[in-house]
Structure 1
Amino acid sequence: MLEVFIKKFKELTIDELYSILRLRSEVFVVEQDCVYQDIDNKDQKSLHIFISNKNEIIAYTRIFKAGDYFENSSIGRVVVQENHRALSLGHEIMKASIDAIQTNYNTSKITISAQKYLKKFYEKHQFFQVGEEYLEDGIPHIRMVKE
């Protein structure tokens, strides 16, 4: 049974935090072959949105209020475990994250730093590209905004 959770950093259990960090490492470091500092001291100020299946975290994002990461509220570290991607959990976790920003931060204006190849995915959630492509950790990214 899939469950969606929204938690502050201090509300995460040790097992949840470990599972989140493991999932982010599996995808962003190992699968994408990108060496970067994932543990960036920003988790403490974000809200953590995740989907769990039988106590296993299979999809995750973190959200920030305006000014904590970008000028607008933001969503980052969007990740779905590889063997669960066929279930459209990316769209579910994005919808839950957008809703959480509206509920917790009372805004619908959101900025993201998106991997370029996911542009069409984010456009389905009403994000549009702002500015030119840039490299972040060696991967092509674009800034996208949702009004």
Structure 2
Amino acid sequence: MGQDYSTSLQSLINDSNSDFAALAFVDSRKRHIHWKHVSGSCSQRLKKMVGKPGIDLSGMVVRFGDVMIVDNSDANINEKRLEFPSMVAEGLYSAMASPIAIDGQISAVLVVGSRTERTYTQADICLIKKEAERFASMIKAKLNIVT
């Protein structure tokens, strides 16, 4: 199933005109976020990082339960992106992340990013939300969760 995630992440990179896509899983018992599947990575640092709710882009998504965007629409983009260690580790200038909910709980986070300046559109937001739902289905299938 890991190969399915990798293939899907690579397709998401192509479909979203991005440079990077990743899937981070939430360990609700320890309240940690672990990067498990990454495509387009330029560093091994990300997979070694452990996040927490409210910290980093994935942590903000877990905390607030909604899509988070860091892009050129923010006048302070250069300072803002430095607040997110995952963006710094991957050299990303723009990124968007969506929660992946399973049975009402955020179980994972889907992230796409670009190493160039970019402003995400409503179509981009719709795409990542749709892909997050698809990844939720893949995760449920792997875990044999029936809904």
Same fold at TM > 0.5? no
Name the TM tier (shorter chain): 0.3 to 0.5
* TM-score (structure 2 length as normaliser): 0.34
Q: Greater relative contact order (Cα 8 A, min sep 6): structure 1 or 2?
A: 2
* TM-score (structure 1 length as normaliser): 0.34
